[in-house]
Amino acid sequence: MRHLHLPLALAALVVVAHAQPSPPPATFTALEAKKDVDLNTDPNSAFWKPAQPVFITGDTMGKPVPPYRTEVRARWTKDNLYLLYISPYNELNLKPDPDTVNETNRLWNWDVAEAFIGSDFQNIRQYKEFELSPQSEWVDLNIDLDKKGDRDAIKWDSGFKVSARIDADKKIWYGVMRIPFTSIDTRPPAPGQTLRIGLFRCAGPTSARLILSWQPTMAMTFHSPEHFGTLVLAAPARRK
């Protein structure tokens, strides 16, 4: 007779599952800066030191990858969003003959740091993709996941700027992006404003390729916008 009670038990489990609140999305805070600055990869500089970091600690499936624990910081001004990546490495996978002037298509086949940013909380399948390499190469794309094989994605030009340097002694590479707000949102930036963001990194030689994600996408791709976190624009830190 026990099997007669099974549907009731399952129903109870469903009710309990639906009653549990979903976990809050991960947040990444960007502190406001008074003015724009030259691209700066020094985490100890006056510009970057107050920033509140988050860390990319594992792959897209959530498996920890301690040697590649990547720190990311953010600042913003009335015109731009700044992102700094501090990226430890064992072996760099660099593109020969880097071009730092023109866009490098398929840059993701090499070592890169990436940010996917969207302002539309209703249609999360549309967002912008930004990448930079340890050699200061770059690529930006206008992503619409409902347009498979969209060859126009790379024609989009955000006007963002990048700079990078490699510290071979410490085996860390540093990269910074300066992204115009007009390329990611129609609203002027203001304290309390939020954006959807994914933070990623491709690292290592082709034979031992790692795809790393701030928030696990639970797939072998970064393009799972339902797993993005939230970027919060915060007012300047008050001096004590």
Q: Is residue 100 part of a domain?
A: no
Host domain of residue 197: 23-95+112-234
- CATH number of residue 79's parent domain: 2.60.40.1190
Q: Is residue 54 part of a domain?
A: yes
Q: Is residue 51 part of a domain?
A: yes
Average pLDDT over residues 101-128: 97
What percent of the chain shows pLDDT beyond 90? 85
CB 139 within 8 A of CB 154: yes
Q: Which of 84, 115, 110 is nearest to 98 (CA)?
A: 110
CB 3 within 8 A of CB 46: no
Q: Is residue 13 part of a domain?
A: no
Element (H, E) at 17: helix 6-19
pLDDT in tens, 1-12: 334 333 333 333
What Rg, from alpha-carbon coordinates, does the chain have? 20
Is pLDDT of 22 > 60? no
Q: Is residue 70 part of a domain?
A: yes
Q: Is residue 85 part of a domain?
A: yes
How many domains does the chain contain in total?
1
Q: Is residue 239 part of a domain?
A: no
C-alpha–C-alpha distance, residues 35 and 119, integer Å: 23
Helix (H, G, I), strand (E, B) or coil at 6: helix
Strand locations in the chain (E):
27-32, 54-56, 58-59, 70-76, 80-88, 112-118, 126-132, 138-144, 161-167, 172-180, 194-203, 210-213, 229-234
pLDDT value at residue 151: 81
Average pLDDT over residues 205-214: 95
Q: Is residue 103 part of a domain?
A: no
Is pLDDT of 29 > 70? yes
The 3 state secondary structure assigned to 156-200 is CCCCCEEEEEEECCCCEEEEEEEEEHHHCCCCCCCCCCEEEEEEE
